[in-house]
Amino acid sequence: MATLIVNGQERVVHSTLGTPLVNVLRDELGLVGTKIGCLEGDCGACAIIVGEKINDEIKYCALTSCLMPLGNAIGRSVITIEGTNLDNRLSRIQKAFVDHNGIQCGFCTPGFIISAISFALTSNEITLDNMINAVAGNICRCTGYKSIERALDEIVNDLKRIDMKNRINWLINNEYLPEKFLGYEKQLKTNSAKTSYHNNGKIIAGGTDLLVQEEEAIRDGSHPRFIWGDPSLKTIRIENAKCYIGGATTVSELYSSTILNNMIPRFKQYLRLVSSTLIRNMATVGGNIANGSPIGDLSIMFQALDATLFLRGAQGTREIAIKDFFTGYKKTAKQDDEIIEYIYFNTLRPNDNFSFEKISKRTHLDMATVNSCLKLSRNKQGIIEQASFSVGGLGPTIRFMSETSKALLGKVVSDETFIEAERVAQKEITPRSRPEYKRLLVRQQLFLHLKAANDSLSSEVLR
């Protein structure tokens, strides 16, 4: 038995703590406005908003309730589409969807509306591009998207008037939210999110892998360790020229981190290639590394940054280089009870280069066919003093390309350097599937990385 706060009301539910929240909302509470499409985080039909009190401030985000275990919702404020309806009339966003014919069968509509409301609740930069990024995890199979885009454009233009300092009241006064929303906030002030970091069960962070891969085991499992949102596992800070990132930090928190965006100029652009806003709001750094995926985007990035993992388990604590962490397909050097508390790496120097590339079938919401990351440190003369090239999608684990990295040392970034490094890279890899295609992708990605460091690199070298 657990108590959940849904649309401002405390509701007692009986599902196990590992049950996907969408099932609790629909089957136990009858809130069927939240739809079930794929149950794998891909369609956004099950999107809900979750509010949480953090240091006396209430933070909102939208996420997919099919991948959120009930345990992660306890102590947070869950807002479903029903909780965003105004009495007897359409809200501003609903009306825009109707006016622009953004609805046909209507199955995807609650998810789109939730993502758009979450954007209105959270965005500091009101642009159509950012709004589209907010709904990038919502899929519609009827409308063809243009009519939805027109509705979103109208909303964005209206939201440009928003009073950021008095956001909730503005959204209520302008018919984006019902008045009862203020009550949801009050309710949250007396609650805080629960985590169960200290027991010995299965570690569950965002659940975006676990609820896809092991849904039944998680639903039926006992005493999970819910660590998502545990403040002691959430940090992004710099100390003594090292950057520390907590294991339960979400991809969205990386995305909005001033520290990381100052250090890596195109960081947001890279992170937009990782899943969707709905998934990034849940997915954590620790989960991305611990799942041992051979194409984990964050693992690739942190390997190029030569990160070290700090693990805590029943036997105490230890550190391990990320390069030594992956031991086989989805296998790692981590014991079951060990938690990745944080990772750290040397901060980039102002003229260091860091670039990430990812090729997948779809630009957004897709895993990589091949992904890679290159970090270069050069001296004042432009000579490469340190290079770390990391590639995924070529075998059972992500790969640190030690020979290729070495081949770059002592050189300037030039056409000749690319030709030589590419020759070494091709010797260093043995792609298991579609070898010719993957060799081509490694070649092109290495070129793009070096081009990012020296724009005058000529594409002639690719012929």
Ligand X SMILES: Cc1cc2nc3c(=O)[nH]c(=O)nc-3n(C[C@H](O)[C@H](O)[C@H](O)COP(=O)(O)OP(=O)(O)OC[C@H]3O[C@@H](n4cnc5c(N)ncnc54)[C@H](O)[C@@H]3O)c2cc1C
Determine if 146 is a binding residue for ligand FES (CB under 6 A). Answer: no
User: Of residues 261-290, which lie at the interface with ligand FES (CB under 6 A)?
Assistant: none
Determine if 247 is a binding residue for ligand X (CB under 6 A). Answer: yes
- Half-sphere exposure for 2 (CA within 13 Å, toward CB): 22
Angle between helices 109-122 and 146-159 (to 10 degrees): 30
Question: Which residue's CB is nearer to ligand X, number 71 or number 83?
Answer: 71
Question: Is the Cβ–Cβ distance between 117 and 84 less than 8 Å?
Answer: yes
- What Å distances lie between residue 116 and 102, 126, 142, 261, 365, CA to CA? 13, 11, 19, 24, 18
Q: Among residues 33, 37, 229, 296, which is the contact residue for ligand FES, using CB under 6 A?
A: 37
Of the candidates 50, 59, 5, the residue with the CA atom closest to the CA atom of residue 253: 59
Determine if 45 is a binding residue for ligand X (CB under 6 A). Answer: no
Question: Which residue's CB is nearer to ligand FES, number 131 or number 135?
Answer: 135
Could you tell me how many residues of this chain bind ligand FES (CB under 6 A)? Answer: 22
Question: Which residue's CB is nearer to ligand FES, number 131 or number 307?
Answer: 131
Distance, CA of 324 to CA of 314 (rounded, Å): 21
Distance, CA of 388 to CA of 406 (rounded, Å): 8
The stretch among 75-83, 139-147, 185-193, 258-266 that binds ligand FES (CB under 6 A) is 139-147
Q: Among residues 37, 75, 206, 229, which is the contact residue for ligand X, using CB under 6 A?
A: 206
The stretch among 28-36, 124-132, 158-166, 284-292 that binds ligand X (CB under 6 A) is 284-292
Q: What token pair was written down for 405?
A: 């990295």
Question: Which residue's CB is nearer to ligand X, number 11 or number 272?
Answer: 272
Residue 130 backbone dihedrals phi, psi, to 5 degrees: -70, -35
Determine if 210 is a binding residue for ligand X (CB under 6 A). Answer: yes
- What Å distances lie between residue 14 and 29, 50, 111, 352, 375, CA to CA? 11, 20, 25, 53, 50
Determine if 373 is a binding residue for ligand X (CB under 6 A). Answer: no
Encoded one letter per residue, x for contact with ligand X by CB under 6 A and - for no contact, window 333-372 reads ------xx------------------------x-x-----
Task: Choose the contact partner of 290 out of ligand FES, ligand X, none; CB within 5 to 8 A by kind.
Answer: ligand X
- Half-sphere exposure for 218 (CA within 13 Å, toward CB): 27
Task: Choose the contact partner of 274 out of ligand FES, ligand X, none; CB within 5 to 8 A by kind.
Answer: ligand X
Question: Which residue's CB is nearer to ligand X, number 232 or number 379?
Answer: 232
Task: Choose the contact partner of 401 out of ligand X, ligand FES, none; CB within 5 to 8 A by kind.
Answer: none
Q: Residue 336 Cβ, how far from ligand X at the closest point, in Å?
A: 8
Distance, CA of 129 to CA of 123 (rounded, Å): 12
The stretch among 109-117, 157-165, 288-296, 425-433 that binds ligand X (CB under 6 A) is 288-296
The stretch among 30-38, 113-121, 198-206, 298-306 that binds ligand FES (CB under 6 A) is 30-38
Question: Which residue's CB is nearer to ligand X, number 84 or number 281?
Answer: 281
Q: Residue 98 Cβ, how far from ligand FES at the closest point, in Å?
A: 12
Which residue do the tokens 């919702």 mark? 73
- CA angle, corner 380, sides to 375 and 386, nearest 5? 30
Question: Is the Cβ–Cβ distance between 204 and 228 less than 8 Å?
Answer: yes
Q: Among residues 13, 132, 274, 394, which is the contact residue for ligand X, using CB under 6 A?
A: 274
Residue 456 backbone dihedrals phi, psi, to 5 degrees: -80, 0
Task: Choose the contact partner of 37 out of ligand FES, ligand X, none; CB within 5 to 8 A by kind.
Answer: ligand FES
Question: Is the Cβ–Cβ distance between 431 and 394 less than 8 Å?
Answer: yes
Task: Choose the contact partner of 105 out of ligand X, ligand FES, none; CB within 5 to 8 A by kind.
Answer: ligand FES
Kindly give, in sequence order, each residue whose CB lies less than 8 Å from that of residue 215, ignoring residues fewer than 6 positions away: 20, 39
Determine if 288 is a binding residue for ligand X (CB under 6 A). Answer: yes
User: Of residues 67-126, which lie at the interface with ligand FES (CB under 6 A)?
Assistant: 103-108
Of the candidates 45, 44, 47, the residue with the CA atom closest to the CA atom of residue 60: 47
Determine if 231 is a binding residue for ligand FES (CB under 6 A). Answer: no
Task: Choose the contact partner of 140 out of ligand FES, ligand X, none; CB within 5 to 8 A by kind.
Answer: ligand FES
Kindly give, in sequence order, each residue whose CB lies less than 8 Å from that of residue 372, ignoring residues fewer than 6 positions away: 300, 356, 357, 358, 389, 390, 391, 392, 442, 445, 446, 449
Q: What token pair was written down for 25?
A: 């909302």
Sheet order of strands, 77-79 included = 9-13, 2-6, 77-79, 47-54, 57-64
Determine if 44 is a binding residue for ligand FES (CB under 6 A). Answer: yes
Question: Which residue's CB is nearer to ligand FES, number 91 or number 143?
Answer: 143
Question: Which residue's CB is nearer to ligand X, number 163 or number 336?
Answer: 336
Binding residues vs ligand X (CB under 6 A): 40-42, 67, 202-210, 212, 227, 247-248, 274-275, 279, 282-284, 286-288, 290-291, 296-298, 339-340, 365, 367
Binding residues vs ligand FES (CB under 6 A): 36-39, 41-46, 64, 66, 103-108, 140-143
